[in-house]
Each structure stands twice: as structure tokens, then as C-alpha cells.
Copies of this chain bind each other. A is one copy, B any other.
């Protein structure tokens, strides 16, 4: 049994240093400094960048609120299936004012935009966090809420565009689900504000290098109140979480959206 226990402990340390940190409520306390020590044991430089450049500078810039930064960080790491960062970032999101119901809805939204397996991994991380904070089903969005009203005119434009580019004759399943499940249901769920839902989608697209579809969703986010300065800062913030190359690849598309709106 001693050998087994040793194996198990080593497993814990290897797979989920971050997980253990997240299971304590004391953010900024002992566990956090222990997380920093754990990075220092491999890279004192990375620990320094995390503490000074990320926590001490990036997250404090005025261009985006801490809550918005959490929304886009959570979206990006779910889109990239970054299990190692999820426990600490999910906890931070709640601390930064993302409601449990909003985090629930972000995960649900990304099941469709990043794939079912990305949501499944996020569910496995959110569950113990919710339990620990006493968040139960009554705090979460129901399966069938009263939906937001459909913008009939914008929806007709979307339907026409998809009919032309995809076509229900050749792709009846894809076109049908896109309308029925995504745009007549998921996007109308009220637990996440339309502006935030677009922000989540844009972040997931940039995170996955799928910049072609940023145009549609960034315009939607800006129609719902995201400013140009905020959109620029979204790309800046994401650079650290999705890697510089994905951020740089998003720039021309974002600039093009800016240019066409002015």
C-alpha cells in the first residue's frame, strides 16, 4: 500500500498541481504562493512573467474589466482544452464576478463552438469547484428558459447567407441544426448576455486559429456594445493565453471589421 500511495501522490503532483491549488478557497494565500513555487522549480523566469507581466500588468490594464478578462480567458482555455489552467482560472472567474450561471452557460455554448469534448473536460473541472462553493442546480440556468426574442430581420439574413454558402439541399442536417439548435435556441438563452456570448465566440475562434469566422461574431459583439478599444484589448489579452501567432493572425481580420464599421 505504501508503494501505491507514493505512486498516487506523485500522480497528483504531476497531473494536477493547479487542481489542488483550486480546491482551496484561499486565493492569494499559502496555496497561491505554493503555486508560484511550483513554477519556479522549473522556470523562475516564467514565474516572474506570470507575476509581473500577467498578474501585475496585463490583468490590471483599464481597457477591459477583470470580469471581461475572465470571460475571454475562460473561453480561450476551454477552446484550447487547457485543462492545466482551468481550475485556477474558473475559480478566478467566479472571484472576478462571472456568475456561476454564466460560467455554466459559457461551457454549454462552447460545446457547440469548440466541440463536445472541450465542454466535457470543462464540466469535469467545474463540478468540484461548484460543489466546494455550494453552487447547486438551483443556481444554474435551466434547460428550457424563456428565450430572448429573435431578431427576425438579422436571422433572415443569416438564414439566406447559410442557404447560399452551405445549402439545405446538400447539407440538410447541418443547416437544420444550425437554425433549430444554435440560432433559435442556444443563442437566445438569457443566462449569458448577447454581448458576452459573442465575446466568448470570438475568443474561442481566435484561440483555435479559426479567424475566418471572427468577422461575423465580432460585428455582433460590437453591435451589442463592445468598443473598438475593447476589441483591440481582447486580442492583446488573448495573445498570452492562445499564443502570439494566433493573436497576430487575428489582427488583419479585426482591423478589417474596424475599417468597415467606420
Cβ–Cβ < 8 Å partners of A12 in chain B: 7-8, 11
Query: What is the bound-complex CA distance between A248 and B14, given in angstroms?
Result: 34
Cβ–Cβ < 8 Å partners of A198 in chain B: none
Near B by CB (< 8 A), chain A positions 233-248 give 233, 235-237, 239-248
Near B by CB (< 8 A), chain A positions 55-102 give 58, 61, 63, 76-77, 80-85, 87
Residue A119 is within 8 A (CB to CB) of chain B in the complex = yes
Cβ–Cβ < 8 Å partners of A244 in chain B: 112-113, 178, 182
Cβ–Cβ < 8 Å partners of A45 in chain B: 104-105, 108, 141-143, 189
Query: What is the bound-complex CA distance between A228 and B58, given in angstroms?
Result: 39
B11 near A123: Cβ-Cβ < 8 Å: no
Chain A, interface residues (CB within 8 Å), range: 35 or more
Query: What is the bound-complex CA distance between A129 and B141, given in angstroms?
Result: 35
Write the A97-127 contact mask toward B (1 if CB under 8 angstroms, else 0): 0000000110110011111111111111111
B13 near A127: Cβ-Cβ < 8 Å: yes
Residue A232 is within 8 A (CB to CB) of chain B in the complex = yes
Nearest CB to that of A189 among chain B residues? B45
Partner of A124 from B18, B142, B209 at Cβ < 8 Å? B18
A46 near B108: Cβ-Cβ < 8 Å: yes
Copies of this protein chain in the complex:
3
Interface of A is mostly: helix
Given contacts A41-B131, A43-B104, A174-B235, 17 further A-B contacts (CB under 8 A): A7-B9, A10-B19, A14-B19, A15-B15, A38-B123, A41-B130, A45-B105, A46-B123, A61-B173, A111-B240, A112-B240, A112-B243, A166-B248, A170-B228, A170-B255, A173-B233, A174-B247
**Nearest 5 A-B pairs (CB), nearest first?**
A82-B117, A173-B236, A48-B143, A84-B121, A84-B120
Interface of A with B (CB < 8 Å)?
1, 4-5, 7-20, 23, 38-50, 53-54, 58, 61, 63, 76-77, 80-85, 87, 104-105, 107-108, 111-128, 130-131, 136-137, 140-144, 165-167, 170-174, 177-178, 181-182, 189, 204-205, 207-210, 212-213, 228, 232-233, 235-237, 239-249, 251-252, 255, 258
Q: Could you write out 24 A-B pairs with CB less than 8 Å apart? A: A1-B5, A17-B127, A38-B123, A41-B127, A41-B131, A41-B136, A43-B104, A45-B105, A46-B119, A46-B123, A49-B111, A61-B173, A80-B117, A82-B118, A82-B121, A84-B124, A112-B240, A113-B244, A115-B242, A170-B258, A171-B251, A173-B236, A174-B247, A212-B249
